[in-house]
Structure 1
Amino acid sequence: MKRGALICGLAALPVGWMLAAGELGMIGHMAGHMIAVAVAAPLVAWGLSGGRIDSAARWPGIVAPMPMMLVELATVWLWHLPALRAAAHGSPIVLAAEQLCFLIAGWLLWASVFHAPQRMAGIGALLLTSMHMTLLGVLIGLAPRPLYPDMHHAGLAPLIDQQLGGVVMLLVGAASYFIGGLVLLAALLRQKGGAAA
């Protein structure tokens, strides 16, 4: 099962790259980001958990849920500043760095969450991440003017494209972390219920 998750996560990365690099406007840009940070990252982290490349097992004092939640928060918010977004839109090298940052930040957070001794903190970190993804998606979607007017908008009005990009972030990013937190909480409650019986 873990090997299948790893393969699926790695297979999702080129899809995310093509969406982020294509001429699909903010919708494609957001879909590419969300595939890297909220789809591929948890699959790769799960696939590597418990193995030799499990970063949370190797460095539990560093790759811990709350610090990695802050790393992921900083990564997501910084790359959505208009100046950095414009730099990524204008350069394939910067775009690749942006996508890699999303993947690494997501992978480290999810790896820390899957590390069993940190389950409770991991649940909190995922729920907090869902909240900040929701907030950023809402801010982008409800902004009264285009935040990224110079990027290609796939034939849509820039503000409409931006609003739809915010919706993609809400539907994929916020939902992934929220559902992940709930699944881990349910597993923890079942485990505690079984231990008490």
Structure 2
Amino acid sequence: MAPFALIGGVGVAFVAWAIALTGNAFTGHMVAHMALVAVAAPLLALGLAGTRLDPATRWPGHVAPLPMSLVELVVAWVWHAPAARAFAEASLPGFLIEQAMFLAAGLLLWSACLGAPPQDRARRGTGVAALLLTSMHMTLLGALLALTPRPLYGMAIRSCLGIDLPPLVDQQLGGTIMLMIGAVAYLVGGLTLLGGLLRARAGEESR
């Protein structure tokens, strides 16, 4: 599975960047963001797990679930501040820095949770808490973007995949995408880890 996960992660990342570059809409930005952190990053983490390129294997003391969850939180919230969003929209270097930080933060978090050996139950347990915490802050940010009654990122009409969107509709759609994809992906990831821990414990007790 590892090679296929790695190839899939790289493929999703390139598709996400292609979508983000098709226009200046916040919706396209959010599709790319969620594809990177909720799809490409866990696939890359699974593909690299246990190898020398796995961040959790190389730096186990630093790439730990809860600290990496906080890194993910800071990166997500900072890059959705209006000034940072304007910087990423206005220049190619800004876009590249933003997207690289999204992917790096996502990879570090998923690697911290999935890259550890399955028998490392303390780390897996902390990973459950880290992914659920990330799901919560993604839910909060997505809800704020979807429910805010005024545009935060300017008043211009935005284009995504050839579709023009009014600024408030664009922002609300982007927030909804974060709620539907980001929050759900981290919730499912946390529950999957929890299920694995419970099955392992049940197997031991049945022996």
Range class of TM-score, shorter chain = over 0.9
Q: Report if the CA contact (8 A) 2:145-2:175 is conserved.
A: yes
Q: Deviations over 1:15-74 (max 9, x none)?
A: 111122221611111001111111100100110001111111221110000000000000
Percent of aligned positions with the same letter in both sequences? 52
C-alpha RMSD over aligned residues: 1.1
TM-score by length of 1: 0.97
- CA distance 1:87–1:24, change in 2 (3 Å): closer
Which residue is 1:16 aligned to?
16
- Stretches of structure 1 that go unaligned for 5 or more consecutive residues are none
Corresponding position: 1:173 with 2:182: yes
Which residue is 1:123 aligned to?
128
Corresponding position: 1:89 with 2:89: yes
Which residue is 1:110 aligned to?
110
**Residue 164 of structure 1, CA deviation:** 0.4
Which residue is 1:76 aligned to?
76
- CA distance 1:151–1:93, change in 2 (3 Å): farther
TM-score by length of 2: 0.92
Corresponding position: 1:157 with 2:166: yes
Q: Report if the CA contact (8 A) 1:140-1:162 is conserved.
A: yes
**Structure 1 runs of 4+ off > 2 angstroms?**
none
- CA distance 1:152–1:90, change in 2 (3 Å): farther
Which residue is 1:189 aligned to?
198
**Residue 124 of structure 1, CA deviation:** 0.4
- Larger helix percent: 1
Q: Give 3-state SS (helix, strand or coil) of 2:3's partner.
A: helix
**Residue 153 of structure 1, CA deviation:** 1.6
Q: Report if the CA contact (8 A) 2:27-2:174 is conserved.
A: yes
